[in-house]
Structure 1
Amino acid sequence: MKNKSKSFISIITFIVILFSAVLIWFMNEKSHSYQEPQEALLAIDKNLLLIPAYKVNGESLYFFIKDKDSLGASFVRKGILGWRAGMLSWGLLGKNSQVHLIV
């Protein structure tokens, strides 16, 4: 009888821990998911000038201009609860950018 009681308590403890982990994951996923891909990027930085490149099979690529002198890109992926932005990467354009043609 004592062995069954320990098993029951172990199972209940496991279920409570699992439920807590799923609840924390769900709340995090919901707070970082948006209905449209551009909303996910603008939630990170509202001052981005977005340039959509493509949107295919739950993945979207955006180029952006940040602070008038930086050009960057980011992938946005569709998750279970909506669109989530990936890492933003950008670099300075430079004030006197010169374009060199390769012939």
Structure 2
Amino acid sequence: MHNIPCVTLADPNIIKLTQESIKNTFKDGQTLRELIDDLKAGRVSADDLPAIRLFEKEGRISISLDNRHLKAFQEAGVQIRTIPATEDEIANEAFKFTTTNNGTSIRVRGGGL
């Protein structure tokens, strides 16, 4: 039997970021601003996007591995779906842990916000 990860809804503003900066576009070419506008207008919902992967630090601080999606939901003021990150995901993405302000804010490269 396989463990099925629990997907939950969360307030994006209580989740910390891992990176100092992010690019303003996603792999599919959509801009961060477009996603924010779509979320605000209700054209896109949390259910339309993959849940962001989280891990806990010090047993209480939720930290995201998916910084662009988290930033979009923070800006839109919409709850986000979350899922626990695996140990392998955390280890494989440790190179992203570049924040210098404890994950409270992030710079968007390329403008648009």
TM band (smaller chain)? under 0.3
Q: TM-score, normalised to structure 2's length?
A: 0.20
TM-score by length of 1: 0.21
**Relative to total residues, which structure has the larger strand share, 1 or 2?**
1
More helix by share: 1
Higher relative contact order (CA 8 A, sep 6+): 2
